Structure 1
Amino acid sequence: MKVLTVQYGCGAMCLFTAEDAVDELEEALSEAASNATFALIYFSKSRVDSETIIALMARSVPDLPYAACSTAGELTPNGAAEGQIMIILLPKDHFNVAAAPMRIDRTRRLDEAAADVATFRCLFQAEHEESESSRNFAMCITDGLSFDEEAVAAALHWGLDDLPLLGGSAGDGLDFNSTCLILNGEILTDGTILLLVNCDLPLQIFKTENFEPTPQKLVVTRSDPERRIVYEFNAADAAHVYADVVGVDPQSLSPMTFASHPLVLRIGNEMYCRSIQKVNEDGSLSFFCAIDDGIVLTVAEPTGMARSTADVLASVRETIGEIDFVLGFDCVLRRIDARNRQVTHKISQLYAENRVIGFNTYGEQYRSMHLNQTLAGVAFGIPVATKEAAE
């Protein structure tokens, strides 16, 4: 069977395929979507293009709203994978979803963007008030190569007020050429898709990271904040200084190096990753997150990814009970670091056992912050009626 379908206790479904099986996917989707209110689609650009996704949805479920994005890997019901087409169907029995494109970038005043977000939120909350049996939250998908994620995080946090937010940046494998976002058949350029969700399932929004700071400090002494490029650390060539500190040859710097030796920024009592995307021909370093002159970065070492991931999922189960499924946004650098430390199987198994479905990102949005090397997710518990029937 080229297309696999998994149904969860609440009625949510996940369809996925790693093969060129669009025709089979179309047939399976038509049959599975009768009770769906919204679809989330994550796809590998190495397998399909945006036009194929748009045509698939138009033929199969022309009236079903959906949001889609390209990825740097997929989290399937069978664990972590690459080269997949995944379609997650949210059931109308438990979810209400509204989605809108948001123009949020550095060229626009943040208060204007936040006002648009606030208007969208107010309309949604007026129609779907929170109660003892339902909660509202927000998700976003943004262009992982736009350099605008910090502006997006600020505007969304401002406009959403106290509504919790999580999300991820669309990816392009490890090519870093272009990403793709689609909302209801429209391709968005340098955009953000904001989804507001009302759900009557038990739920918990969470994040987990696994790194410890070392004594090594790097000061950004010359940079291009607009393009997130650092030319110099400590008044010397950025790539050479970084390579010397982590003990590798500058010519061997790679995504595996960056995943194994992340740089972190202290904000208050918290440490946040400012991960390196790639080394450039001139010896500069491109970053996934915002940087600027004068920032002091600390070299960190990832530690215990499998343990920290298992611990946070165990904590989630203590809060909401048995996990029905998790929508996850997992940094691509975590996947690379897991492979480097030979714990890919453990992480993949943890995701499968806890029903984590989603995609590998170029960055994660969690509440007011844009992050790297983090798993951010929203876990849904078993529906009350299902629990009562089981008892």
Structure 2
Amino acid sequence: MSYNASMTPFDNGTTIPTYIKPFDDSVTILSGTVIFLFLAIGVFLNTLTIVVIRSTPKLRNVFMFFIMSLCVSDLMSALISPLFWYRRTLGFDVWLPPNFFCKLFWSVDLMTTFSTSMHILDFAILRYLSIQHPSTFQRISERRAKLWIFLTWVIAFLCGFVPLWIFTGAVPGEQRDRNSGEKNEKWPACTLLLETLDDYMKYSMSSYIVLILLPMIVVAIVSVLICRSVHYHAKSSLVNDDKATKKRLRKERQAVLQLVLIVVSFIFGYLPFVTYEIWSAFGSAHVVVDYWFGLGQYFCLRFSECMNPVFYNISSSKMRRNTKRYLNNMCKFCGCADKSGSRAASETSSFEVGATNLGV
């Protein structure tokens, strides 16, 4: 891949290419606006979801533990997003912070990517068990769920954080040599180390397939199975027209909606990410295309992670009620809620529904 270039003449008649950055100040401002906006939204919504679940005993069930852990992953990803912006703009040619921050960005970014992928796979499997095999689901205690989540994070750390800490780096304060002739000469200053590039390409092909693409496929299959199961239960409810059956069917439909929204968000954010990483590592046709592809896929990723907490509330009436109650209490504490708002919050809190197997 190569930059747009002009030829600079020297006194001896020779010329060398003068490389121009694939972006200007307007891109720096635009990308910064978008990323810092997503940072604020992501931090607020994911923190709010975590606090609401932790402060509401009736929300503490197996599903909510996984959602809370997924919010932690999205929150970590949001917090390191300014490093991506700096890497792609102000630090494109010269990385000024310590090398630690370059490695930290890459390592945490891939760790949270793998963590999110596995969490969504876990979540889909749990939904399927709760709907199709409730007796098996009942045997998953809170202790086992927390152990499951812990192992998910261990795998994400070992397969994401550790390798990228080895494969990436930057020399603080050193000008990027754009005429070296090396494969990574056109990449940002904080990037893959040239001496580890071949190992990284082998690693990325296997890890992305196993920890991102394969979970996508499995989640899609499980989602279809869940939809078929709910459709079958809906047909059965026409025969058994009792309140318990109707209530369970309503909960199952909410569960399907929640899963579908999360899966769509996941594919929207992570499919462009995987495509870009593989495409960029093996070489791209033009550096400007590479630059905008890299920026665009990151925007998709950040948007996806910001939308997850919104989808949790859209698809779960219980989550919505408790989020509204928490926000009303916060407004009341801050003195910005009127009496009618306080009364509405009181009425809402009295309408709590106990946790069910579906966790909706």
TM-score scaled by length of structure 2: 0.23
Greater per-residue strand proportion: 1
Q: Higher Cα Rg: structure 1 or 2?
A: 2
Greater per-residue helix proportion: 2
Q: Which has the higher contact order (CA 8 A, sep 6+)?
A: 2
TM-score scaled by length of structure 1: 0.22
